[in-house]
Amino acid sequence: MLLYLGQVPTLVISSAEMPREMVKNHDIVFSNRPRSTAPSILLFGCEDVGFSPYGEYWRQARKISVVELLSIKRVQEFQFVRDEETAAMVNRIRSVCVNGSTINIGETMIAIANNIVSRCVLGKSFMEEDGRSRIGELSRQMMLLFGAFSVGDFFPSYEESPRRGKKSGGEKSKIDMEDINQMSYFKCVIKENLRLHPPVDLLVPRETSTSVEMGGYHIPAKAQVFVNAWTIQRDPSLWCRPEEFMPERFENSSVDFKGQDFEYIPFGVGRRGCPGMAFGVASTEYVIANLLYWFDWKLPGGALGEDLDMSEAHGLTVSKKLPFHLLPTPYSP
């Protein structure tokens, strides 16, 4: 759909075919970023990997980010950070279990995400005694200006396979990445969450560097381009029963989130796809696997799953509109 938002020509892509054509035939044309006020102010003129204009500066910045932090090799080397931060989180939750208090899952996930990232990037976690990251509030305020921040909604329903992760891991004192790599159903759960609730509904906008013909449209230069990942990933022509939470749809399926399957693009596509995908997925899988391994979880006050308000707050990224509290009970393997 091509329209004008004010004076800006804007293309909204809501089918899987258009991103495929965009990446296969016109990737460079669609690799720029539009100049936006909030990122320009907060990111010192968009001098970051996510929002900087396409060109030599972006190529070098992305190269440094990948080599030093985001490559598969570096993600594996930073496993000790995930180990230590996850162990500290588990201990904090155990202390909460003593008095029967609930845990705010959203705050817990945001805190550990900030702690892991700050340790990997800055060498220290800037953590308060209660486990909160001192840069957490700064991150939240920045994301509120961009949109809304969320790690995701990671605990929808595990009724189909209770404690399946433990079964895969066996009777062990901890979960490690080797165990997680054997948890095929757990990985399907993560994928299905990313399908139903992509981190960004509308992928970070692009801007055309020149005019181009695509999909029967003449798209002018300097047009903003939004890819509607939320709609594509719920398209009934691409997905069976798309509104249902069905992790098993990914069992024995080659569909992945690496940007080659255009019906499933939670991390974007092409050269402006998210370079932090491997880092983010590794951290998410490891933290959630340990939360499920070390604790049983239930809703407080005898509430049922169908009682949950799953409304989302939309912005640059997607977050749950209301806080999500769960009651943990320690589990001893």
Could you report the per-residue pLDDT of 240-276, keeping only the tens digit for each?
999 999 999 999 999 999 888 999 999 999 999 999 9
Percent of the chain surpassing pLDDT 70: 82
Mean pLDDT, rounded, for 277-304: 89
In this predicted structure, the answer to whether residue 42 has a pLDDT above a threshold of 80 is: no
What angle separates helix 184-196 from helix 277-294, to the nearest 10 degrees? 120
Mean pLDDT, rounded, for 115-139: 74
pLDDT at 241: 96
Are 153 and 174 in contact, with CB atoms under 8 Å apart?
A: no
Residue 257 CA: distances (Å) to CA of 111, 239, 249, 276: 25, 15, 14, 12
CATH number for the domain whose boundaries are 2-330: 1.10.630.10
Tokens of 279: 């880092």
In this predicted structure, the answer to whether residue 229 has a pLDDT above a threshold of 60 is: yes
Q: Is the dihedral of CA 292, 70, 83, 127 positive or negative?
A: negative
Mean pLDDT, rounded, for 285-304: 88
In this predicted structure, the answer to whether residue 201 has a pLDDT above a threshold of 50 is: yes
pLDDT at 207: 93
pLDDT at 124: 82
Question: What phi and psi, each to the nearest 5 degrees, are found at residue 255?
Answer: -65, 130
CA–CA separation, 173 and 57 (whole Å): 46
**Confidence class of residue 142 from pLDDT cuts 50, 70 and 90?**
low
DSSP 52: S
In this predicted structure, the answer to whether residue 186 has a pLDDT above a threshold of 90 is: yes
CA 320 to chain centre: 13
46 in a known ligand binding site: no
**Confidence class of residue 152 from pLDDT cuts 50, 70 and 90?**
very low
**Confidence class of residue 140 from pLDDT cuts 50, 70 and 90?**
low
